[in-house]
Amino acid sequence: MAKIIDGKKIASEMLSEVFMEVKALKEKGIEPCLAVIIVGDDPASKVYVKNKKADCGLVGIRSLEFSLPADTTQKELVDLVKKLNNDRSVHGILCQSPIPKHLDEKEVINTISPEKDVDAFHPVNVGHIMIGDGAFLPCTPTGVMEMLRHEGISAEGKRCVVIGRSNIVGKPMSLLLLAQNGTVTICHSKTKNLPEITRDADILVCAAGVRNLVTADMVKEGAVVIDVSMNRNDEGKLCGDVDFAEVEKVAGYITPVPGGVGPMTRAILMKNTLTAVKNLTKQN
């Protein structure tokens, strides 16, 4: 049976460290602040924003929430971002995805100041990730790397397979594994013979958003299986891409859904906000 990697526990330890650093900054008269923009009434987005707000409360970061109606115009959204860019009391900015289809998300991301882009989505920060010297690292992939580090698992020399090629998870995940000298293969919806590829993986990261995509016969015995996705089963319960009950019998390590990567993503967001505070304070 696989060892379950407890994301909640690891995230809690990270948040405790962030809390102490935030406390030290406040003693110097610096109050870290994260601004979150949400547009529309997407239920999942509301839950995510609520959780982020709760995390801010735990570590002592001031949280600003800007809840905009679904009919918000592009100009109104971009103007708000520009206003937050110019607000020296705000250190981190993120716009919760997805946003209504009539809005241009790319323009919004490009408008956020790279120094306040705690999601690490701005092209400038993506470029820094590519060459390996980024101040900010993307929250979910970095959370995965922290989980591996916590368990003493190195990607060096390992065959690493990432299922999914999104800009948010798949692509940056592959870069972070590559930076640790892993041999990385990216799979996606057009990949042929997926089971044949995944069976070679020492580290398998699943981020396709397809329930029960990964079954036990697709996993190498003793492999590390990281399930990034958040899906719903027929009963409405949260689940990932991995058939957890069966894959757990084959893998060496496995992450649960929920309670795995999700808490780590939010913990890294808090850490990135702290990094933004430090960097902006140096500039000022």
Give the per-residue pLDDT at 264.
Answer: 97
Give the per-residue pLDDT at 281.
Answer: 86
Cβ-count burial 246-263 (b if 16+ within 10 Å, e if not): ebbebbbbbbbbebbbbb
Q: Residue 216 carries which DSSP code?
A: G
Parallel, antiparallel, or unpaired for β 231-232 and 238-239? antiparallel
Q: Which residues are catalytic?
A: 52, 96, 119
Q: Residue 212 carries which DSSP code?
A: T
Give the sheet arrangement for strand 183-187, strand by strand.
3-4, 253-254, 224-227, 203-206, 159-163, 183-187
Give the per-residue pLDDT at 19.
Answer: 98
Give the per-residue pLDDT at 282.
Answer: 78
Where the chain has pLDDT below 50, the residues are none
Give the per-residue pLDDT at 17.
Answer: 97
Q: CA 235 to CA 145: how far, in whole Å? A: 31
Contact 226, 144 (CB under 8 A): yes
Q: Residue 236 carries which DSSP code?
A: S
Parallel, antiparallel, or unpaired for β 253-254 and 224-227? parallel
Beta strands in 81-141 (DSSP E): 92-95
Give the per-residue pLDDT at 100.
Answer: 96
Give the per-residue pLDDT at 215.
Answer: 98
Domains and CATH numbers, the chain: 30-113 (3.40.50.10860), 139-262 (3.40.50.720)
Give the per-residue pLDDT at 150.
Answer: 98
Which amino acid type is present at position 160?
C
Contact 86, 35 (CB under 8 A): no
Q: CA 276 to CA 271: how far, in whole Å? A: 9
Give the per-residue pLDDT at 284.
Answer: 62
Which amino acid type is present at position 170?
G
What is the sign of the dihedral through the CA atoms of 146, 152, 157 and 159? negative
